């Protein structure tokens, strides 16, 4: 168990996470409601996401999800792909948006631990994950690496 400001939560410590571990999440279908709600939350009402008639004439043929919506959904999918880490912070991101996520697409996440690094502080370490977001056809629509600060066992 990991303690956060007096609270206790389960999580895998830095030492429990092995280089090369791979995870795959279940799928999650992106809906029109997701896109509308994300537009309202983010304030991004770009026609790519909000104008069905305009987008019929676009290269995509229909509205597409915000790239950042896909990024946010994959973060949630990661929590469904593996037992929770004892994460202290999300500290870095290198990301590419490779293709559109359309209304009705079902996306899933594949992740792999590609680096582990101890820090100067004995209570934490850095985990780097390679992540790929795939649609229902197996096409990579987003990919990149994320860095997570994870609690270490002390003592």
Measured distance between the N- and C-terminal CA atoms of the chain, rounded to whole angstroms: 15
d(CA 105, CA 144): 20
Confidence of residue 154 (pLDDT cuts 50, 70, 90): confident
Other Cβ atoms within 10 Å of 59 Cβ, number: 6
CA atoms of 12 and 36, how far apart (whole Å): 35
- When pLDDT is averaged across residues 146-155 and rounded to a whole number, the result is 90
Which CATH superfamily does the domain covering 2-151 fall into? Hotdog Thioesterase (3.10.129.10)
Query: Which one, of 132, 81, 135, lies nearest residue 107 by Cα?
Result: 135
Q: What is the pTM of this model?
A: 0.91
What element of type H or E holds 116? strand 106-118
Q: Which of the 8 DSSP states describes residue 33?
A: H
pLDDT, average across residues 128-151:
98
Task: Give residue-wise pLDDT tens across range 104-130.
Answer: 999 999 999 999 999 999 999 999 999
The domains of the chain are located at 2-151
């Amino acid at each position: 168990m990991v303690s956060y400001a007096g609270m206790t939560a389960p999580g895998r410590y830095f030492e429990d996470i092995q280089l090369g571990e791979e995870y795959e999440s279940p799928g999650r279908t992106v809906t029109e409601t997701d896109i509308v709600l994300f537009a309202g939350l983010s304030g991004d009402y770009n026609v790519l996401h909000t104008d069905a008639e305009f987008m019929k004439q676009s290269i995509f043929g229909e509205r597409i999800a915000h790239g950042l919506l896909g990024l946010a959904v994959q973060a949630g999918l990661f929590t469904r792909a593996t037992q929770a880490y004892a994460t202290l912070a999300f500290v870095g991101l290198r990301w590419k948006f490779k293709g559109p996520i359309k209304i009705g697409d079902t996306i899933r996440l594949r992740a792999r631990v590609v680096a582990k690094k101890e820090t100067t502080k004995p209570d934490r370490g850095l985990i780097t994950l390679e992540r790929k977001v795939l649609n229902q056809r197996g096409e990579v629509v987003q990919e990149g690496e994320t860095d997570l600060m994870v609690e270490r066992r002390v003592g």
